[in-house]
C-alpha cells in the first residue's frame, strides 16, 4: 500500500504541457517542445516517451524515447536538444522519407501521446501523460499550369500539366487524381467540379502531366470545362489545386481518328506482333510509358528500315493513345513500321499495311 501511495504522490507532483506544432510542415525534432512542472522538493530524473498514431486507423507509426532529463522544483522548458539523442523506432514505411531527427513527418493527421517516466523507460513509475493532435499538410498545393485559366485549346485531346505540391519531400507515395467536367451556363466552376459528372476522371497518376486520352470523347467546341488536381500520399488526401477553366477553339479542325477505334500496341523491339491492316491512312498507336513526361520523336520506317516520316509527340507516364495522318509517301500493300525509343534507348515497334 505504501508503494502505491508513493507512486500516486509522485504523479500528482508532475504536470506536462506540450506545445503543439502549427499545422503545416513538421520535423520530428519539433515534437519535443514541452514544459515539465515538477512540484517535489527533491530533484528527479525522468525519461519522456512519444507514440505517434495515425488518426485514420489509430495505428502507431513511430515511437521514440528521450535520454534521461534532470528536473528540480519548478518548470523546465525542454526542446529536442535537451533530450538528445532521442531513440526512434519507425513502424510505417511512410517514414522512409525521413528517418533522422531533422526528417519530416509525412503528410497526414496524427495523435502524439507523451508519457513521462521516473528514471528510465519501463523501470519506474509513470508520472504524467498528455496527447495532442497534429496535422501535416504541404506548404503549397498543386499549381495548375496548362491549359491556362480561361484559355482556349486547339485540340480535342489537349495536354495537361501542373506543378507538384511543395515540399515534395513530405510524400512517400505522391499521386494525383484529376477531374475534368463540363461547366453549365450560369454555373460556377467550383460547383461544376463538385456537382457534375466528370467527362474525365483519372486516379493515382504519378506524373504531373498527361494527354487527354484519344480513347475518350474529345473536348467539344463551344463548351466550357473545369479541371482540378488532387494530390494524395498513398490514399491519404494531401491538398488540392484551384479550379481552372478552358474552352476549345470553335475553328479547330476535328482531328483524325483511327477506324473502329483500333490502336496498334507498340511492342518491344525483341519481337513483333501481327501486322495490323489499316483501311485508310489514319494510324492509331497505343504505348505504355514508364518514363517521366517528355517529347519523343516517333519514326515511320519502310521495310528496309529507312525513315519515311517523323512525328513529335509529348509522351506521359502510363498509357498514351496517339493518332497520325500518314502522308502521301505511304503506299498501299507495303509493310511499314512505326517506332518509338524510350529514355533508356529501348525501341518499341508495331507493323502495319494499308489495304487496297
Q: What Cα–Cα distance (Å) separates residue 211 from each residue in 154, 161, 205, 220, 319?
A: 13, 9, 12, 16, 9
> Cα separation of 356 and 351, whole Å?
17
Tell me the pLDDT band of 9, cut-offs 50, 70 and 90.
Answer: very low
Domain shared by 8 and 132, yes or no: yes
How does the average pLDDT of the chain come out, rounded?
87
Domain shared by 102 and 69, yes or no: yes
Contact (CB, 8 A) for 335 and 275? yes
Domain stops at, among 91, 120, 136: 136
- Whether 254 maps to a domain, the answer reads no
Domain shared by 180 and 286, yes or no: no
**Cα dihedral value 146, 152, 155, 159, nearest 10:** 10
Contact (CB, 8 A) for 185 and 151? no
Tell me the pLDDT band of 2, cut-offs 50, 70 and 90.
Answer: very low
Domain shared by 132 and 8, yes or no: yes
Domain shared by 17 and 125, yes or no: yes
The per-residue pLDDT for range 62-120, each reduced to its tens digit, is: 999 999 999 999 999 999 999 999 999 999 887 876 667 678 888 888 999 999 999 87
Domain shared by 78 and 151, yes or no: no
Domain shared by 107 and 147, yes or no: no
Domain stops at, among 94, 113, 136: 136
209-238 average pLDDT score: 90
- Whether 121 maps to a domain, the answer reads yes
The three grid cell numbers given for residue 289, joined into one nine-digit string? 510509358
- Whether 197 maps to a domain, the answer reads yes
CATH of the domain at 286: 2.60.40.1930
The three grid cell numbers given for residue 81, joined into one nine-digit string? 536538444
Domain shared by 130 and 149, yes or no: no
Tell me the pLDDT band of 6, cut-offs 50, 70 and 90.
Answer: very low
The count of other CB atoms within 10 Å of the CB of residue 346 is 12
Q: What Cα–Cα distance (Å) separates residue 315 from each residue in 23, 287, 340?
A: 37, 9, 10
Domain range for 224: 143-248
338-346 average pLDDT score: 93
Q: What share of the chain is helix, strand, coil (3-state, %, to 5)?
A: 10, 50, 40
Question: In the 8-state DSSP scheme, what is residue 263?
Answer: -
Higher pLDDT, 251 or 223: 223
- Whether 98 maps to a domain, the answer reads yes
Answer whether residue 276 shows pLDDT above 50: yes
Question: In the 8-state DSSP scheme, what is residue 104?
Answer: B
Residue 100, CA atoms < 13 Å, CB-side half-sphere: 3
Q: What does the pLDDT read at residue 100?
A: 72
Domain shared by 73 and 148, yes or no: no
- Whether 233 maps to a domain, the answer reads yes
Tell me the pLDDT band of 316, cut-offs 50, 70 and 90.
Answer: confident
CATH of the domain at 237: 2.60.40.10
- Whether 253 maps to a domain, the answer reads no
Domain shared by 172 and 90, yes or no: no
> Cα separation of 94 and 173, whole Å?
8
φ/ψ region of 150 (left if φ > 0, alpha if ψ in -120 to 50, else beta) reads: left
> Cα separation of 264 and 287, whole Å?
9
Domain shared by 265 and 333, yes or no: yes
The three grid cell numbers given for residue 199, joined into one nine-digit string? 467527362
Q: What Cα–Cα distance (Å) separates residue 73 from each residue in 8, 19, 114, 129, 245?
A: 18, 21, 21, 19, 63
Q: Could you tell me what percent of the chain has a pLDDT over 70?
A: 91
Residue 75, CA atoms < 13 Å, CB-side half-sphere: 7
H helices of 255-349, in order, are: none
Domain stops at, among 106, 136, 166: 136
Instruction: Please measure the distance between the N-terminal and C-terminal CA atoms of the chain and give it in whole angstroms.
Output: 101
Domain shared by 229 and 282, yes or no: no
Q: How many domains are there within the chain?
A: 3
Amino acid at each position: 500500500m505504501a508503494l502505491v501511495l508513493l507512486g500516486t504522490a509522485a504523479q500528482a507532483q508532475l504536470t506536462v504541457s506540450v506545445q503543439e506544432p502549427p499545422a503545416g510542415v513538421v520535423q520530428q525534432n519539433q515534437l519535443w517542445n514541452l514544459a515539465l512542472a515538477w512540484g517535489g522538493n527533491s530533484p528527479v530524473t525522468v525519461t519522456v516517451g512519444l507514440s505517434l498514431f495515425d488518426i485514420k486507423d489509430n495505428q502507431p507509426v513511430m515511437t521514440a524515447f528521450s535520454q534521461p532529463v534532470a528536473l528540480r522544483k519548478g518548470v523546465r522548458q525542454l526542446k529536442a536538444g535537451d533530450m538528445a539523442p532521442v531513440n526512434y523506432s519507425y513502424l510505417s514505411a511512410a517514414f522512409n522519407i525521413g528517418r533522422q531527427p531533422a526528417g519530416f513527418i509525412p503528410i497526414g493527421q496524427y495523435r502524439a501521446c507523451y508519457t513521462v517516466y521516473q528514471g528510465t523507460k519501463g523501470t519506474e513509475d509513470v508520472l504524467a501523460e498528455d496527447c495532442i493532435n497534429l496535422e501535416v499538410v504541404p506548404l503549397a498545393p498543386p499549381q495548375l499550369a496548362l491549359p491556362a485559366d480561361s484559355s482556349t485549346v486547339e485540340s480535342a485531346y489537349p495536354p495537361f500539366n501542373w506543378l507538384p505540391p511543395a515540399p515534395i519531400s513530405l510524400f512517400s507515395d505522391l499521386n494525383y487524381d484529376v477531374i475534368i467536367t463540363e461547366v453549365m451556363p450560369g454555373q460556377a466552376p467550383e460547383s461544376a467540379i463538385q456537382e457534375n459528372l466528370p467527362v474525365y476522371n483519372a486516379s493515382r497518376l504519378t506524373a504531373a502531366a498527361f494527354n487527354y486520352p484519344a480513347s475518350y470523347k474529345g473536348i467539344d467546341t463551344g463548351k466550357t470545362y473545369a479541371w482540378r488536381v488532387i494530390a494524395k500520399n498513398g490514399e491519404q488526401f494531401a491538398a488540392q489545386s484551384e479550379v481552372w477553366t478552358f474552352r476549345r477553339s470553335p475553328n479547330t479542325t476535328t482531328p483524325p481518328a483511327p477506324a473502329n477505334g483500333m490502336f496498334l500496341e507498340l511492342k518491344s523491339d525483341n519481337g513483333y506482333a501481327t501486322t495490323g491492316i489499316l483501311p485508310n491512312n489514319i494510324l492509331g498507336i497505343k504505348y505504355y510509358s514508364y518514363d517521366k513526361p517528355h517529347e519523343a520523336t516517333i519514326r515511320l520506317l519502310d521495310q528496309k528500315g529507312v525513315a519515311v516520316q517523323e512525328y513529335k509527340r509529348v509522351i506521359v507516364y502510363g498509357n498514351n493513345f496517339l493518332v497520325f495522318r500518314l502522308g502521301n509517301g505511304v503506299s498501299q500493300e507495303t509493310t511499314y513500321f512505326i517506332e518509338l525509343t524510350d529514355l533508356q534507348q529501348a525501341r518499341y515497334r508495331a507493323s502495319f499495311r494499308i489495304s487496297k
